[in-house]
Structure 1
Amino acid sequence: MKTLGSFCRVLPLCLVLLAARAATAVAQSNEPERDEAGRQTLAGANERIARYRMGMLVVRVLDRRGRPVANARVNVEQTRHAFLFGTNIFRLDPRDTSPAQRTYQQRFAALFNYATLPFYWGAFERAEGRPDYARLEAMARWCAARGVTPKGHPLVWQEVYPRWAPNDPDVVVPLLRRRVNDLITRYRGLINVWDVINEANAAASFDNGVGRWVRRDGAAAVVRDALSWARAAGAGRDDETFVYNDYETGPRNVALLSELQARGSLPDVVGIQSHMHQGAWPLARVWETCETFARFGRPVHFTEVTVVSAEPRTSINYHGPPATDWPTTPAGEARQAEYVADLYTLLFSHPAVRAITWWDLSDEGAWLGAPAGLLRRDMTPKPAYERLLELVRRTWWTHASGQTGRAGDYQTRAFLGSYSITVVGASGRTRTVPAEVTRNGDGQNVVTVRL
């Protein structure tokens, strides 16, 4: 397959470094994915989706004198979800016009409204003082042109550490603070969501500047400091969102967040990774994870979701090169599709969850060499991609039409998000207006259209 642009020339290095995860990573359960508790939880999902992900839309049609217009035709067309459905787009190269790259872009844009962009320090700034601003700006502008929300990932992390960066925390901490401030201010208005710090719970096992910083000050203090830098750079803007991201779903992460809460330093979003290379999580565990982290009163993002389309592996070499002998299989693709539909339905139904990010879009270049993509290496869609497309853009998507009544109103239940509303009066006079459906206080979203 043709190389997909300049990023792919550094991607193998990133993948090897990304694989160097702590050996204490939480092992995945081999229990049945649909245990009885999971079945019961999933059984109420559609009711919860209707309650938490929909609102009442009222289109009120008036004439020029402010009088109600009856029998006007109304068409309601959703244009974007409020919920963030995403994936990383590490293989995006807007300059590449190859068929594979065009297909990659088309498949992404057809399904997703949220994208994770790679700001790994050691790849972004391979030579000191020479960060790759232009490539990441091009990726972010590609997203903006398509109504996609980009997220920068990550600003502070102990992995993908630059070879030139010092190991003395007294020296590296000012460099990291400058990096956080520089990136947030430079990309303001283009990238407003950031994974500020990644996996601090595991950092102490790394012998570099970040690892030594965590050993010296403690994980909670390091997370607090990084978030404080981000907030200072954000200058209190409401449109900036700062995430703490971790694969720890047990007591260590609960303790870290509890300490941050006690200090008044919680992140804006709690990011939960769910890499299931070793087996899909039982649905009851998924729900329990949502409940555990929802208690902190912050939105929960599932930031890195992996479900393989082959047999899971009980042993993963996080410190070695990507696997070359782990191909997707028809049976694995069928299992992946079934589980993914259940997983997304369950997560979409939990009121605290606001985003789900898949990891990676394609098997080509996927982390660990796993068959983790929604697309195969040749960019053809797996059944899981088709199932998600059906859910996200059809089942959970509003397209409605009808006529206004005597009071000039047309109303319908609609999924939260952005809309285009077209009204046609009896004379043929037509108006099209944008609208937003949100969960507001009285439960109604009233859009007034004057003909």
Structure 2
Amino acid sequence: MNIEYYKKYEHRMGSRKLKLIGQDGKPIANTEVSVGQTKHQFLFGCAEFSSIPFANNELNQEENEKAKWIFENFFDLFNYVTLPFYWSNFENVKGQPDTDRLKKTAQWFKTNGCTIKGHPLCWHTLAPSWLLDMTNAKILELQLDRIRREMRDFTGLIDIWDVVNEAVIMPIFSKYDNGITKICKNMGRIRVVQETFSAARESDPGALLLINDFIYTSIDAYEILIEGCLEAGVPIDAIGIQSHMHQGYWGVERTLEVLERFSRFMLPIHFTESTLVSGHTMPHGIVDFNDYVIDNWPSTTEGEERQAREAVLHYKTLFSHPLVESITWWDFVDGQWLGAPTGFVTQDNRLKPIYEELYKLIKKQWWTETVNKVTDENGEVTVSGFFGDYEAAAVGMKGKFKLDREEERKEITVPLK
């Protein structure tokens, strides 16, 4: 690894001195050991809502075979997934939440090595219609109860949550009546964020709590909202930034400008919803992407090459920034949100160039290759690489350990079994 490359990603890498111990409790001295990475600490993720019927055995045989192939490729690339908790879909009938299906799906992803995020706990869009007949006080009560219930039910499965989604436009949203806009208009954005985050923190003190918003029309307003929330003592753990680029790639310069503006808060930054289309781009001038409704939005050869090229630049720009901790793509298969060709897989089950190019980054360039080393007389060996989970193997035994920024100066004992 050359020096320039190391300097670019040194905030993602570290070294640890390992002390390998055998089953007899003695150091494994002067012995060849194989050390390899098994998982990234950085969260490379994707939204995957179509996983719910598959994980719950609700598909026919043909659909099931297609889904198996899709998720084999998904798990080869990603270690992080976003699952949907849109209130009106999750609890269309009051008192009948879809907890069991979501819990089974979350357990399946966890078994396959994925960290999971729930999205979102509070949002004006897709708020249940049965809230509309209630007073503002009752709506707030039910919203907070909803947060407590979901976080309680999914503790240990889902430890990352988008607590509030798109609070900037929440009180002025006018496309249709909804209960959350009512209380936000009445209480104000900051108090709604404060109440929801307080309920979330109380429900799971160890969870990572995000505020999430889009910035293509409201970057100033989002920055001001975060500042006000932090001044009010809201326990925001990370800033979520949507980067839907249906109208074209932002470019490196604009992405760096966004990072600079939100870095002043010195909080982790999660790019929560990234997209680039592999067909024609959405016309400029459309403010609400949901207003762009067409019958067919095909993926093209030229568009797929452009999507792959721009996605590589996007990921490199974000991975190079020390405050960015995750990137989530939206979605894995074409034709999900808005029918757009934003995925890694076409609707006829073909991997697009974006998959191959990002695989080269995530699992090749940004991955620590397995190496063979020899322990010294004390059973010690030093390993270096990207932060994440590792496995050491020697004399027919294995042990797991982590390379982690917080503990990189400490020696770690690795019992082999």
TM-score (norm 1): 0.83
What is the aligned partner in structure 2 of residue 32 from structure 1?
none
Correspondence for 2:298:
327
Residue type at the aligned position of 2:49: F
Shift of the alpha carbon at 1:221? Answer: 1.5
Question: For residues 205-225 of structure 1, what are the alpha-carbon distances to aligned partners after superposition, in whole Å with 9 as ceiling and x for unaligned?
Answer: 233211122212221111111
- State the partner residue of 2:137: 170
Q: Which residue of 327, 342, 363 corresponds with 1:393?
A: 363
For residue 182 of structure 1, what is the aligned residue in structure 2? 149
Secondary structure of 2:282's match?
A: coil
Which residue does 1:270 correspond to in 2? 239
Does the C-alpha gap of structure 1 residues 75 and 442 become closer, same or farther in structure 2, counting only changes over 3 Å?
A: closer
The amino acid of 1:221's aligned partner reads R
Aligned mate of 1:132, from 74, 98, 101: 98
Aligned to 1:150: 116
The answer for the alignment partner of 2:202 in structure 1 is: 232
How far apart, in 2, do the equivalents of 1:387 and 1:327 lie? 21
Q: CA deviation at 1:450?
A: 6.9
- Partner residue, 1:123: 89
Check conservation: 2:164, 2:210, Cα contact below 8 A: yes
* Cα distance change on mapping 1:447 and 1:125 into 2, 3 Å: same
1:304 matched to 2:281? The reply is no
Amino acid in the other structure paired with 1:296: F
Question: Residue type of the partner of 1:215?
Answer: K
Determine whether 1:242 maps to 2:213. Answer: no
2:16, 2:408 within 8 Å by CA — same for their partners in 1? no
Instruction: Judge conservation of contact 2:19–2:411 (CA < 8 Å) in 1.
Output: no
The answer for unaligned runs of 5 or more in structure 1 is: 1-43, 425-429
**Which segment drifts farther, 176-185 or 407-416?**
407-416
CA distance in 2, matches of 1:67, 1:379: 50
Answer whether contact 1:57 1:414 (CA < 8 A) is retained: no
Matches within 5 A, 1:419-438: 419-424=390-395, 430-438=396-404
2:46 counterpart letter in structure 1: T
**Aligned pair in 2 of structure 1 residues 46, 218: CA closer, same or farther (>3 Å)?**
farther
Report the residue type matching 1:362 in the other structure.
Answer: V
- Match among 334, 342, 346 for residue 363 of structure 1: 334
Q: Structure 2 unaligned runs (5+)?
A: none
Count residues in correspondence: 398
Matched, 1:159 2:128: no
1:376 corresponds to 2:346: yes
Shift of 1:147: 1.4
Deviation at 1:278, TM superposition (A): 0.6
2:34 maps to 1:75:
yes
Q: Distance in 1 between matches of 2:123 and 2:296?
A: 29
Instruction: Name 2:184's counterpart in structure 1.
Output: 214
CA contact 2:399–2:416 (8 Å) conserved in 1: no
Q: For the residues of structure 2 that align with 1:177 and 1:208, how far apart are their CA atoms?
A: 16
Does the 8 Å CA contact 2:238/2:268 hold for their aligned counterparts? yes
Post-superposition CA distance 1:44-90 (Å, at most 9, x none):
994455311111133334676856722x1111121111111100110
Cα drift, residue 441 of structure 1 = 5.3
CA contact (8 A) 1:79 1:419 kept: yes
Q: Once the 2 structures are TM-superposed, how far is the Cα of residue 405 of structure 1 from its aligned partner?
A: 4.2
- Tell me if structure 1 keeps the 8 A contact 2:16–2:403: yes
Other structure's SS at 2:130 match: coil
Tell me how far 1:378 sits from its aligned partner: 2.0
How far off is 1:448 after superposition? 4.4
Conservation of the 8 A alpha-carbon contact between 2:166 and 2:214: yes
Q: Which residue of 2 aligns with 1:88?
A: 47
| CA deviation map 1:119-139 (0-9, x unaligned) | 101111111111111110111
- Runs of 4+ off more than 6 Å: none
- Partner letter of residue 150 of structure 2? L
Helix, strand or coil for the counterpart of 1:191? coil
Aligned to 1:15: none
In the aligned structure 2, how far is the partner of 1:291 from the partner of 1:182? 36
| Cα distance, 1:62–1:134 mapped onto 2, change above 3 Å | closer
Contact preservation (8 Å) 2:129, 2:178: no
Distance in 1, matches of 2:348 and 2:192, equals 42
